[in-house]
Amino acid sequence: MSLDAVLSRIDSDLPAATERLMELLRIPSISTDPAYTADCDHAADWLVADLTGLGIATEKRVTPGHPMVVGHLDGPGPHLLFYGHYDVQPVDPLELWDNDPFDPRIEQTPKGKVIRGRGSSDDKGQLMTFIEACRAWKAVHGSLPCKLTFFLEGEEESGSPSLVPFMEENAEELKSDLALICDTGLFESKTPAIVTMLRGLLGEELTIKGPDIDLHSGMYGGVAINPIRVLSRIIASLHDAQGRITVPGFYDGVPELPDEIEAQWQGLAFDHGTFLGDVGLSKPAGEQDRTPLEMIWSRPTCEVNGIWGGYTGDGFKTVLPSEAHAKISFRLVGTQDPLKIREAFRTMVREMLPEDCDVSFRDHGAGAASMTETSDPSFEAARQALTEEWQIPAAYVGCGGSIPIAGHFQTILGTTPMLIGFGKDDDALHSPNEKYDVESFHKGIRSWARILAALT
Amino acid sequence: MSLDAVLSRIDSDLPAATERLMELLRIPSISTDPAYTADCDHAADWLVADLTGLGIATEKRVTPGHPMVVGHLDGPGPHLLFYGHYDVQPVDPLELWDNDPFDPRIEQTPKGKVIRGRGSSDDKGQLMTFIEACRAWKAVHGSLPCKLTFFLEGEEESGSPSLVPFMEENAEELKSDLALICDTGLFESKTPAIVTMLRGLLGEELTIKGPDIDLHSGMYGGVAINPIRVLSRIIASLHDAQGRITVPGFYDGVPELPDEIEAQWQGLAFDHGTFLGDVGLSKPAGEQDRTPLEMIWSRPTCEVNGIWGGYTGDGFKTVLPSEAHAKISFRLVGTQDPLKIREAFRTMVREMLPEDCDVSFRDHGAGAASMTETSDPSFEAARQALTEEWQIPAAYVGCGGSIPIAGHFQTILGTTPMLIGFGKDDDALHSPNEKYDVESFHKGIRSWARILAALT
């Protein structure tokens, strides 16, 4: 059978496929930092060349930010679009990496072989699973089994500012029967999963300004307002004692979980002891009356992602700083309105400001939550394909992360998104020592080959 | 009269004196940062050479940290010791400086000529006022009017770790009739002042650790403890709504102001509107039932001097960090015990920690407050000398800063300290664009010449 030949080809080509991924991982395409603009461009070029080599007509498309990579291949059967992103997160704190984040290596660990390096899991390793599946298919059959569009982004880790305008301008070109998105994980690191619920994301940066200049805390301490103390008080007041978020109107549009989903989730063997224990924790923080799985998949959050102000170097400096800063993000669910929440948050902060303090805000993106209908028969076909590969029944799951593109496919293109990925909970996404299991990479490629067969 | 000749010499030598100070300011002797160790050494060498050139037998004396500069000159009359420090504060944020902090320049400003550069006021400019007074005296008279000891430190801005052991080991050598300390300012930038009350200082750095690694806030946000939020809550709870510090037992040993000092301070034309207005503020923060002058001179404080954690670079990173850090200092008064307060603070923080969080502390020095008796007739003599030079009656004042050396002279050597300095409120100590008025420098030198005449 034709699928078996493709799977064999994938197995025998794995060393070469791994070497191709390592090449892509060596490009430090950090999208949020302007110092890496040329590297983002280089990563886009690399993908254009690779897809072109597969016979896919691919172009680097200019945006006001980093370029999009768009490729088309005509073919029989349904029209599938594949989305992934070639940009990666920053690497600091660099001193916590065991090796250069952009000098990836294969490591043998107690849990198996891993590919270690920034972007190995998020998202270069994942996007290459699909490309490698296509490569094997083409090698065996000389062509691919369906009409294909590749749509690869370079700004996913920096709020995707160019994405919506680009999708709107090129809607006709990008419309397809189904959008495959590979940027999620296995459930509990072992069960194949299709994500049907995604949280939205609102990112805010605030700067509290007190005195005009940094002051000597001996001369002014006590009598002059200290913006770090003001900022700390604001952050401390964003949650109440029960772990609920205090921004007025925040919970408008937060649905209770439908009974059937609750039942399905209770059937999943989620062990929060292991989930937290893997990262050195023992007790769920957050809302006291919610289960950990609810908190991660279906409840909104407010987290501080960064804070800084005053003297942060070695030693001590008795400075009373002029400014203090924080980066704060909200994960959103249901029909929570990101723009309304932004306004409510900003108003709340302004109302908490004491005299002699100013606040300024910087917008780091806003996207609502999304939920996918799974009634299309392709979902069941993909679920069976995943089950066959992993020999564990694939699950429909929620995801705590935010992948705004999923909602955009629905709203801008009218295309149903299908989110399938092979990351594991201990991949250290966005952290030092990010890795992707060779198992994820290998079985991920095989999964896509099976899904291509099942959908065409 | 001999003093007049010295004062004339000071006037005519001012350009050369300024050039000598600029030379010293060019040495980036930042004591808290190990990268500048050789520069601290260089500054010590410079002073040894300069004092040796004045005929003072001077040595660079080794300590476990930066060296001390100690010089002796035999002579008639009383034995005076002069203390200053040759080390300076770090210069960040560097981008807020108008020029290279270690490329000092003379600038004409609306308020007069200033010497701009790191250390110009704190403390290189100040310590050179005394050395230049000695130089002029020697040029005119061929000798100095008293027995003199110079004691110049290089660790004042980094907690003076070597100071007490050095003073204890060399107590006999350093004992004198009076210790002159030049590291304070004019009162309200215009009235000459002798500081008789100094606050103590306790410096603490704390690190809150939550998860073992930085986490993805989408995957773990809400359910995993966030150390930035924990730290913010701790900082927010260090003061109550009235601005009082909540560390248990903190106010033990905080005296109410004696009536005579309160009366004296009320006689001072302190304008808190101007004091705050100069730095862009309008309203005294801090304890609601205290006057601003009390808050600065005679009340204890707790300030956050630095905070950091998570992603602090450009753009946004949805990280839930493993650690958050703060540098916190307490200014102490009366008989507050720094070591007891350190323990009470650490216990309070530990008790506030939620499950799954650890805290570690780093000690950045602890010194009690000090108060000087002014009954010695040399105080009245110095006060009259200052009054003659500035043509405004000199005042006995408090000082919000902490100069632990003053207490050490009393307790270790039994020597009375006399704190006289010529800094102004807008000198931007510890801040970008630090400056020292040419008036402070010039009249400071003249003041010391008058004081030398008055005390001998």
Q: How far apart are CA A342 and CA A302, in angstroms?
A: 12
Q: Residue A156 has what DSSP assignment?
A: G
Q: How far apart are CA A366 and CA A88, in angstroms?
A: 19
Nearest to A435 by CA among A154, A97, A16: A97
Residue B186 has pLDDT above 60, yes or no: yes
Q: Work out the mean pLDDT of chain A and round it to a whole number.
A: 94
- Mean pLDDT (whole number) for B78-100: 95
Nearest to B72 by CA among B88, B55, B84, B89: B55
Q: Would you place residue B61 in the very low, low, confident or very high pLDDT band (cuts 50, 70, 90)?
A: very high
- Mean pLDDT (whole number) for B302-312: 96
Cβ-Cβ contacts under 8 Å between A and B: the total is 360
Nearest to B319 by CA among A426, A203, A305: A305
- Mean pLDDT (whole number) for A19-29: 98
Q: Are A355 and A275 in contact (CB under 8 A)?
A: no
* Distance to chain B for A53, nearest Cα, Å: 34
Q: How far apart are CA A196 and CA A398, in angstroms?
A: 6
* Distance to chain B for A105, nearest Cα, Å: 20
Q: How far apart are CA A432 and CA B322, in angstroms?
A: 11
Q: Determine what percent of chain A is predicted with pLDDT higher than 70.
A: 100
Coil, helix or strand at residue B185: strand
Task: Please name the residues in contact with A317: beta carbons below 8 A apart, sequence gap of 6 or more.
Answer: A310, A311, B32, B89, B90, B157, B305, B306, B327, B430
Give the per-residue pLDDT at A248.
98
Interface-testing mutation among B36, B287, B305, with chain A (most A C-beta atoms within 10 A): B305
What would the DSSP string read from start to end of B187-256? BTTTB-EEEEEE-EEEEEEEEEE-SSS-EEHHHHTTTS--HHHHHHHHHHTTB-TTS-B-STTTTTT-PP
Q: Would you place residue A398 in the very low, low, confident or very high pLDDT band (cuts 50, 70, 90)?
A: confident
| A305:B313 CB<8 A | no
Q: Work out the mean pLDDT of chain B and round it to a whole number.
A: 94
Q: Would you place residue B113 in the very low, low, confident or very high pLDDT band (cuts 50, 70, 90)?
A: very high
Q: Are A195 and B195 in contact (CB under 8 A)?
A: no
By Cβ distance, the residue of A224, A310, A365 closest to B307 is A310
Query: Measured between alpha carbons, how far apart are the two ends of chain B, in Å?
Result: 15
Which residues, numbered 97 to 156 in chain B, qualify as contacts with chain A under a Cβ-Cβ cut-off of 8 Å? none
Q: pLDDT (tens digit, 9 = 90+) per residue, B25-42?
A: 999 999 999 999 999 999
Tokens linked to B381: 């003599």
Task: List the single residue in A with minimal CA-CA distance to B159.
Answer: A316
Contact residues on chain A for B285, CB-CB shorter than 8 A: 222-226, 354, 356
- Mean pLDDT (whole number) for A62-76: 96
Return the bridge partners of B197, or none: B371, B398
Give the per-residue pLDDT at A404.
80
Q: pLDDT (tens digit, 9 = 90+) per residue, A37-60?
A: 999 999 999 999 999 999 999 999
Tokens linked to A2: 């034709």
- Mean pLDDT (whole number) for B112-140: 98
Give the per-residue pLDDT at A266.
82
Q: How far apart are CA A399 and CA A199, in angstroms?
A: 7
| B232:A307 CB<8 A | yes
Q: Which residue has the tokens 């039932």?
A: B289
Coil, helix or strand at residue B353: coil
Give the per-residue pLDDT at A112.
95
Q: Would you place residue A387 in the very low, low, confident or very high pLDDT band (cuts 50, 70, 90)?
A: very high
| B364:A316 CB<8 A | yes
Tokens linked to A330: 């909200």
Angle, helices A377-390 vs A438-455, to 10°: value is 140
Nearest to B249 by CA among B140, B127, B332: B332
Q: Calculate the alpha carbon distances from B172 to B63, B154, B166, B176, B182 in Å.
A: 18, 21, 11, 9, 22
Task: List the single residue in B with minimal CA-CA distance to A237.
Answer: B233
**Interchain contact A298–B (C-beta under 8 A):** no
Q: pLDDT (tens digit, 9 = 90+) per residue, A132-174?
A: 999 999 999 999 999 999 999 999 998 899 999 999 999 999 9
What would the DSSP string read from start to end of A9-29? HHHHHHHHHHHHHHHHHTS--
- List strand residue ranges (DSSP E) for B245-383, in order: 301-310, 319-320, 323-332, 358-367, 370-371
Q: pLDDT (tens digit, 9 = 90+) per residue, A211-224?
A: 999 998 888 988 99
Give the per-residue pLDDT at B1.
46
Task: Please name the residues in contact with A63: beta carbons below 8 A apart, sequence gap of 6 or more.
Answer: A155, A162, A165, A166
In chain A the domains, ranked by start, together with CATH numbers, are 2-198+370-455 (3.40.630.10), 200-264+288-367 (3.30.70.360)
Q: How far apart are CA B337 and CA B237, in angstroms?
A: 21
- Mean pLDDT (whole number) for A379-394: 96
- Mean pLDDT (whole number) for B196-209: 93
Q: Are B219 and A425 in contact (CB under 8 A)?
A: yes
Interface-testing mutation among A232, A287, A289, A429, with chain B (most B C-beta atoms within 10 A): A232
- Mean pLDDT (whole number) for A277-294: 90
Q: pLDDT (tens digit, 9 = 90+) per residue, B208-265?
A: 999 999 998 888 988 999 999 999 999 999 999 999 999 999 999 999 888 877 887 8
Residue A73 has pLDDT above 50, yes or no: yes
Q: Would you place residue A381 in the very low, low, confident or very high pLDDT band (cuts 50, 70, 90)?
A: very high
